[in-house]
Structure 1
């Protein structure tokens, strides 16, 4: 995938900067990082960094296995990105992932944990549907939530940290099938947690409202 095409594009008030950070020992794979720039200042660390499929033909059309950070730091100052910027950024990422491809976002961080990772892990432990977690919403913004798989137990060292892996549907029929199953899962969650005052459940229920709003604004048959 040609991530370089995103270099210079806007995500809300920020400009995306793309850097290649080396090649994998596996042919056709490379490490890529996405920084944000504003008013001439570049974020100290990337907002998203990961391993990506290269341009060669692959069994899976295209993918990015990444680690997302929010807040990011500018000149030593942490800046929490508003949801509108996160949404715009992941929409850009999703534009380059082809049908049948996937985006992975780690919630196991090996010492670099931020609230977005801890909140996602805790929500999954409580049985909250993956799409209603903070990282799950990022996958939804990218159009890679149909379905989402929770890699809570890695199947060997090659799979990396625990993550959410979201797929972009190959066709409209597959998308509609997954959406039906997704909303049934969400309805079951709402029934199960009705009346609960647990803050994790309250946050997930608010995300249901966000999903409904985004879907209704773009039409029920669109992924985003």
Structure 2
């Protein structure tokens, strides 16, 4: 899908607006900003902003490296996107990522920290699987969670802020293998955290229950 095709995409009571922000140095790459429009009024700031690389012949996949905000501000009013809207939004964004491609969402914010970033960082620090964190769920909704890599320590200055990077498998057999690996990671965590009363672990267990209820819809590959 071309990124322009997401213009006007319905996300609950909102519609997506996509703006290209200036040129890039590389062919096929775009600085994109995704706004949500409510009753004809766009959000004050992008809900998602980052660098998008169009799919190219293998071995170069398409990818999007971005920063996501939630809540969103409309004329100064803060609005938190609930899970159904998050699923709709990231399903749409996920259409840009081809098999073998990836989507990354930063949780290190350099002064723009929101709860979604702080909660993700704290959960990762405690050993909670990335898919059970707020930003990890967004990657799953986009179909880019097979696997999720935590860039907690960048390997060089080009990697930018710390982030979660989620991949879309190249084929069905790889998808099925990654799904089993994902659930084994979750089962191992549940065994390790059994009996803990930490609120972060309790929240993660609730996320497992939600994933189980949503999996027929989310896990279709």
Tell me the TM-score normalised to structure 2 length. Answer: 0.96
Q: Deviations over 1:29-85 (max 9, x none)?
A: 220010000111110001100001036557432100000000010011111111110
> Any idea what SS the aligned residue of 2:16 has?
strand
Structure 2 CA distance for aligned equivalents of residues 75 and 109 of structure 1: 23
**The residue matched to 2:31 in structure 1 has which SS?**
strand
Structure-2 change in CA distance of 1:23 and 1:85 (3 Å): same
In 2, Cα distance between the equivalents of 1:199 and 1:163?
23
Instruction: Give runs of aligned pairs for residues 22-171 of structure 1, distance below 5 A.
Output: 22-54=22-54, 57=57, 59-171=59-171
- Give unpaired runs (5+ residues) of structure 1: none
Corresponding position of 1:207: 207
Distance 1:114 1:199 in 2: 19
Q: Secondary structure at the match of 1:31?
A: strand
- Counterpart Cα distance in 2 of 1:67 and 1:78: 18
Give the whole-Å Cα distance in 1 for the aligned partners of 2:64 and 2:7: 16
| Deviates most, 24-33 or 153-162 | 24-33
Secondary structure in 1 matching 2:184: helix
Q: Specify the SS of the correspondent of 2:170.
A: coil
The runs of 5 or more residues in structure 2 that have no matched partner are: none
The secondary structure found in structure 2 opposite 1:23 is: coil
SS in structure 1 at match of 2:108:
coil
Change (3 A) 1:57 1:24: farther
The structural deviation recorded for 1:219 is: 8.1
